[in-house]
Structure 1
């Protein structure tokens, strides 16, 4: 009788997992089972709020002023960010911060990661030492380690085969590298050690190592956000008397994007079961800056929130002034775009012109059968 009971439980467990997967694949027409997000403050949805001594956080107003709750959420934005809009397009809920999920303990009857999770952390770079020795953030290495722990959790709940199929159909968003370029721009030691070309190739090579770890744990479909013209953000413009873009920083961003594309082509030849979409963030944002009226912007140099020249001397804090119409501005604070700018960006790369995505857009990637 005990053996029969165990068999019944096993069959019941199988069908529970099957029905969960079926529900996930069909729920509200979502395009993929889950979204796993890695990166920096451009896609952080609140992980840094759970780091006890981090000063790189967006947990005070006026951050979140245009978010549905009208409150700070840990996003470095006046509202939603890239991770939110990609999830919306995929008809998924925003992937929650990993540290928020594990902070409530292990009392889940099913995996808490079924719709995905975000490991992104403001301040993170491809290199572990990016953004200074004394800042607290989740390094990319640690983000990948956290994902491997999530993968193990999914295997426990779904079985090895079920987790493999689930993860392989999911999307992995990688938005990182800006802090590495900013680190290079402000470090004379780094510039002495590496030429710009050497540095960006090392960035791409280091990222490749992490991608292989993800691939070893069933990741197959990747979205890569190229670097924007970082030299045009208010904090960089503020370094020039004319408030013009820092062309050195912009050139390094372009160089990294080229190195990233070359690395991805090589990786595809090594791992032919992966698919990816590269988002040409540089061109889209450069168009905002050069032809703002075409996109509804009137201010491309100054930040909406901050103090001092271009609102870039003092960062966005409760004492800072902020513009009444955030839709007019490309930049929310000295380094991050407004919700309006990000919304237009994702509209263009999710299902749009081939000039902005390579070799396919995000919607096409979501539809790839694995």
Structure 2
């Protein structure tokens, strides 16, 4: 009888171990990025000038309150993760983050204003560069090793998904601004080469830290974001800026291909949605939009108002605008970008056999915004 009881206890303990990080086969993701992927890190950086912790950010997400995302709804990484059955990783600086939450959900290190280069975005005072984000990831690894042991931790990190989505700030908030030395130190081609050399080293470091399944996001037509248009003399897209994005994407694709061949047992993919976004901007009606050149959230005739603020006014139908503010796409545009990356890279549903959970999405996109105090 005693042996039967002991056997049952052993079975229960095994099941419990398998349902926790100790033996979990659940796949989570670790996200490295900028404001396009930030889910709240910058709201905990008290001196940062890149902050989305204001109405009307997050109006179409969850309870409609600001949550640190620089859009009205979901990020591209949110949507891709949802469609793959991956949990949404919380912000690294979220005070509720614990080892158990990391094992269950992963971590998001993305920071508004951050770049591949450490100097990028310094005008925002506080932000996490990619180097800093990787340093924080190394600290996360130490915590998990202490929690579940080195061998289990290695398996956990090897089996996780990784997203690296930076680069636009390295142009818009570095190379293209004369206050940065990079603007007069490099030519267009040598600056892209500098970015690739830096990014290549960072991706190799992530590989050495256990990252095996990595998706690197390319850049969209950043010369067409409302900020770039309003700073031009004609209001048109800035061709030089778009050409830099195209150069980055070509070089990024080659870098990823080369690393995939040289790094054993790695799968590094490059997610490029430039063409589909350019198509939407050139012919928004074809894709169900009616505005692709101005922000949904704006401060009347005062432009550029770099962020959406409580005094801003919202467009009548947020689902019809490609851009949420001067910099960032709307939820609807992010969904289109995510779908294009999924289509190109052939991502599959990875966790379990159930259908993915419903994802928070704009449910009141046609509604007028309430007042900030409501």
TM-score where L is the length of structure 1: 0.85
Q: Structure 1 pair 317/266, CA: closer, same or farther in 2 (3 Å)?
A: same
Q: Structure 1 pair 286/24, CA: closer, same or farther in 2 (3 Å)?
A: farther
8 Å contact kept, 1:196–1:252:
yes
1:194-343 equivalences under 5 Å are: 194-308=186-300, 312-313=304-305, 315-343=307-335
Name which structure has the greater RCO, CA cutoff 8 Å, separation 6+. 2
Match of 1:172 among 151, 162, 170: 162
TM superposition shift of 1:81: 1.1
Aligned length: 342
SS of the equivalent of 1:161 reads helix
User: Where in structure 2 are there 5+ consecutive unaligned residues?
Assistant: 1-8, 353-374
TM superposition shift of 1:223: 1.0
Is the aligned partner of 1:145 residue 2:135? Answer: yes
CA distance in 1, matches of 2:108, 2:287: 29
CA distance in 2, matches of 1:104, 1:335: 29
Is the aligned partner of 1:37 residue 2:34? Answer: no
Moved more, 140-149 or 308-317: 308-317
CA distance in 2, matches of 1:10, 1:133: 57
CA distance in 2, matches of 1:10, 1:126: 48
8 Å contact kept, 2:48–2:124:
no
In the other structure, the counterpart of 2:105 is 115
Is the aligned partner of 1:129 residue 2:114? Answer: no
Is the aligned partner of 1:181 residue 2:175? Answer: no
In the other structure, the counterpart of 2:355 is none
Moved more, 144-153 or 260-269: 260-269
SS of the equivalent of 2:30 reads strand
- Post-superposition Cα deviations, 1:238-276, rounded to whole Å, max 9, x if no partner, equal 122321100000001111111111211222232132102
CA distance in 2, matches of 1:69, 1:325: 19
CA distance in 2, matches of 1:67, 1:149: 30
CA distance in 2, matches of 1:196, 1:48: 30
TM superposition shift of 1:329: 0.5
In the other structure, the counterpart of 1:61 is 55
In the other structure, the counterpart of 2:144 is 154
TM superposition shift of 1:83: 2.2
TM superposition shift of 1:326: 0.6
Q: Structure 1 pair 93/365, CA: closer, same or farther in 2 (3 Å)?
A: closer
TM superposition shift of 1:345: 1.4
Is the aligned partner of 1:361 residue 2:346? Answer: yes
8 Å contact kept, 2:34–2:112:
yes
TM-score where L is the length of structure 2: 0.84
SS of the equivalent of 1:363 reads coil
In the other structure, the counterpart of 2:18 is 18
CA distance in 1, matches of 2:147, 2:248: 39
CA distance in 2, matches of 1:363, 1:96: 22
Q: Structure 1 pair 163/231, CA: closer, same or farther in 2 (3 Å)?
A: same
Q: Structure 1 pair 113/139, CA: closer, same or farther in 2 (3 Å)?
A: farther
Q: Structure 1 pair 72/105, CA: closer, same or farther in 2 (3 Å)?
A: closer
Query: What do you get for the CA RMSD once the two structures are aligned?
Result: 2.6
TM superposition shift of 1:118: 0.1
SS of the equivalent of 1:362 reads coil
Match of 2:82 among 59, 63, 88: 88
CA distance in 2, matches of 1:156, 1:12: 24
Moved more, 216-225 or 265-274: 265-274
Match of 1:78 among 44, 49, 72: 72
Moved more, 255-264 or 131-140: 131-140
CA distance in 2, matches of 1:253, 1:124: 17
8 Å contact kept, 1:123–1:131:
yes
CA distance in 1, matches of 2:195, 2:306: 30
